[in-house]
Amino acid sequence: MNDTTFTILRIDGSARYADSVSRRLADETVERLRAAHPGARLIHRDLGAGLPAIDEAWVAANFTDPEARTTEHRAALALSDTLVEELRAADVVVMAVPMYNFGVPASVKAWVDLVARARVTFRYTPQGPEGLLRDRPVYILMATGGVRVGSELDFASGYLRHIWGFLGVRDVHVIAADGLNRDGEQALARAREQLDAALAARVAA
């Protein structure tokens, strides 16, 4: 049966294309999701060329009541609005993220700054912050040269898991292709095993 309403959001954070391991794993993940959901819609948000950082105009617009926003305010928020719409539409997210300098690439941080919006994707309540996005599976494909994902030098995967949770998304799976500089083939094999397990759990659920 064709699954034309099912939407896959793919986000790529690598600056590399031809030799990017995270992109290769994202290709494989999307292919498998498409096999499970023939006819699924794919939204591809490629951050390889970077994203603009939020600036003074963006902050001012974001903190202005929606009803009071001027044309300039709305223009300042346009890209951010688009990124939030992509997120809302997604039934599953495939996020390919290389580790750069122990954290996430600047483009991925810029994406987070553009989608984490009070009263839009999270809100403050007397009990604390509350995420406003519906839960859905997120597969984070994390590539590193040497640092082990989950080790104390990994400031990327815990950060991303926290951000997704902050926005209301808890079904987050971190797939690690780590230590690629030591043994690339072994690291890829380990990542594929993790991906198999995560996707199998999904089909079984």
Ligand X SMILES: Cc1cc2nc3c(=O)[nH]c(=O)nc-3n(C[C@H](O)[C@H](O)[C@H](O)COP(=O)(O)O)c2cc1C
* Residue of 48, 145, 165, 168 interacting with ligand X (CB under 6 A): 145
Residue 69 Cα distances to 26, 65, 77, 82, 101, angstroms:
38, 6, 10, 17, 38
Residues 6+ apart with CB under 8 A from 197: none
* Residue of 8, 9, 11, 21 interacting with ligand X (CB under 6 A): 21
* Residue of 6, 7, 11, 22 interacting with ligand X (CB under 6 A): 22
Q: At what angle do helices 78-89 and 106-115 cross, to 10 degrees?
A: 90
CB atoms within 10 A of CB 169: 21
**Contact between 140 and ligand X per CB under 6 A:** no
Residue nearest to ligand X (CB): 98
DSSP class of residue 123? E
**Contact between 144 and ligand X per CB under 6 A:** yes
* Residue of 38, 52, 146, 150 interacting with ligand X (CB under 6 A): 146
Where does this chain touch ligand X (CB under 6 A) — which range of 20-28, 42-50, 77-85, 111-119?
20-28
**Contact between 155 and ligand X per CB under 6 A:** no
Site string for ligand X, 25-64 (x = CB under 6 A): ----------------------------------------
d(CA 113, CA 116): 6
- Closest by CA position to 112, among listed 65, 66, 53, 64: 53
Looking at the Cβ atoms of 10 and 23, the one nearer to ligand X is: 23
d(CA 185, CA 135): 33
d(CA 63, CA 73): 10
Name the residue type at position 178. D
Smallest distance from the beta carbon of 137 to ligand X, in angstroms?
21
* Residue of 9, 11, 108, 143 interacting with ligand X (CB under 6 A): 143
* Residue of 20, 29, 80, 107 interacting with ligand X (CB under 6 A): 20
- Where does this chain bind ligand X (CB under 6 A)? 14, 16, 20-23, 98-102, 143-147, 180
